[in-house]
């Protein structure tokens, strides 16, 4: 099977999205790199991507796309479909985190993080799937986290979105079986991508002051994580971009549902849960005749 040639990536301005964009351009893919603020806050990043692409064999299209805006998603993807031969792969990567005590995070914060990390994925999938099903091939890759399987305290809302993303993605994998569209999840561990530096704090710190001495716990836990992912022996975030490329190059129908990428800890917790869930799901679906 030939590797799919046209790949749409959300959240391409930084982190895993940027690394994946650069890698696929180096490998000769047509990359549709999307982000918010293409002419505004991310203009510099966009220009750097353009400059990078000039000496690479791949073809770059930069597009403004806000995953929280259904009109933006629908119009952008329709424009891409109208001006290219189709979208072969989507990498749902856009997302952000909120840290601190769950009680101190407001409902508005919860709504916003779900709007980006989960509802944004649904908007993109709905916009691209009809064309993929019509062409009889496609690949949806969802960037989740080991925190979609295990819980590290003081990031409850981020964890909740990734648990939800896992369920949504696995459901898609069953429902799209037989259409030619594959569905995969990548579960990264801790990497130094700048993600933690951009994490929001709880919006209602006044409420959690009465936690007293316990208030130091989030800084203790996440400070330790930060030291591990930024040190001399820190894991290389390029590993996640490599995992995306590997999924794309894997033959249709042979792609795994979940791929753990966690050199920091080995990812054994997530892998163990994934293996157990796979067995249970196989038994359950078999009982339904699926």
For residue 61, the model assigns a pLDDT of 96
* Ramachandran category for residue 77: left, alpha or beta (phi over 0 → left; psi -120 to 50 → alpha): alpha
Report d(CA 197, CA 286) in Å as an integer: 45
Name which of 68, 71, 82 is nearest 32 in CA terms. 82
* pTM reported for the whole predicted model: 0.94
For residue 264, the model assigns a pLDDT of 86
Q: Are 38 and 46 in contact (CB under 8 A)?
A: yes
Token pair 């969802």 in the structure block, residue: 142
Which residues fall within 8 angstroms of residue 204, CB to CB, at 6 or more apart?
104, 105, 106
Furthest-apart CA pair in the chain: how many Å?
60
For residue 1, the model assigns a pLDDT of 42
Query: Under CATH, which number does the domain 6-94+115-147+164-192+234-287 receive?
Result: 3.40.50.720
* Ramachandran category for residue 267: left, alpha or beta (phi over 0 → left; psi -120 to 50 → alpha): left
Please give, one letter per residue, the 3-state secondary structure of 36-105: CCCCCCCHHHHHHHHHHHCCCCCEEEEEECCCCCHHHHHHHHHHHHHHCCCCCEEEECCCCCEEECHHHC
Report d(CA 179, CA 101) in Å as an integer: 43
- Give the active site residues: 13, 144, 158, 162
For residue 218, the model assigns a pLDDT of 86
Backbone angles phi, psi at 44, to 5 degrees: -65, -45
For CA atoms 135, 89, 28, 50, give the dihedral sign.
Answer: positive
Per-residue pLDDT of the chain (290 residues; tens, 9 = 90+): 454 589 999 999 999 999 999 999 999 999 999 999 999 999 999 999 999 999 999 999 999 999 999 999 999 999 999 999 899 999 999 999 999 999 999 999 999 999 999 999 999 999 999 999 999 999 999 999 999 999 999 999 999 999 999 999 999 999 999 999 999 999 999 887 777 777 888 889 899 999 999 998 888 887 777 777 777 678 899 999 999 999 999 999 999 999 999 998 899 999 999 999 999 999 999 999 88
């Amino acid at each position: 099977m030939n590797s799919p040639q046209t790949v749409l990536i959300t959240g391409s301005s930084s982190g895993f999205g940027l690394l994946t964009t650069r890698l696929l351009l180096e490998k000769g893919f047509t990359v549709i790199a999307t982000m918010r603020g293409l002419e505004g806050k991310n203009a510099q990043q966009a220009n750097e991507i353009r400059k990078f692409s000039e000496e690479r064999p791949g073809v770059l299209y930069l597009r403004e796309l806000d995953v929280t805006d259904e009109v933006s998603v629908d119009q952008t993807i329709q424009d891409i479909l109208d001006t290219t031969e189709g979208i072969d792969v989507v990498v749902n990567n856009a997302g952000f985190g909120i840290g601190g005590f769950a009680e101190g995070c407001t409902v508005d914060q919860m709504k916003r993080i779900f709007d980006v990390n989960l509802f944004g994925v649904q908007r993109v999938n709905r916009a691209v799937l009809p064309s993929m099903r019509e062409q009889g091939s496609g690949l949806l890759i969802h960037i989740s986290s080991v925190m979609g399987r295990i819980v590290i305290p003081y990031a409850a809302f981020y964890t909740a979105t990734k648990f939800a993303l896992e369920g949504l993605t696995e459901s898609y994998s069953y429902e799209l079986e037989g259409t030619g569209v594959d569905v995969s999840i990548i579960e990264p561990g801790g990497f130094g991508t700048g993600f933690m530096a951009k994490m929001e704090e709880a919006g209602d710190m006044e409420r959690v002051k009465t936690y007293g001495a316990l208030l130091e716990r989030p800084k203790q836990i996440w400070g330790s994580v930060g030291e591990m992912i930024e040190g001399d022996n820190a894991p290389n975030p390029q590993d996640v971009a490599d995992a995306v490329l590997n999924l794309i190059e894997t033959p249709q129908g042979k792609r795994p549902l979940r791929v753990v990428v966690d050199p920091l800890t080995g990812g054994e917790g997530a892998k163990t849960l994934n293996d157990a869930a796979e067995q249970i799901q196989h038994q359950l679906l078999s009982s339904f005749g699926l």
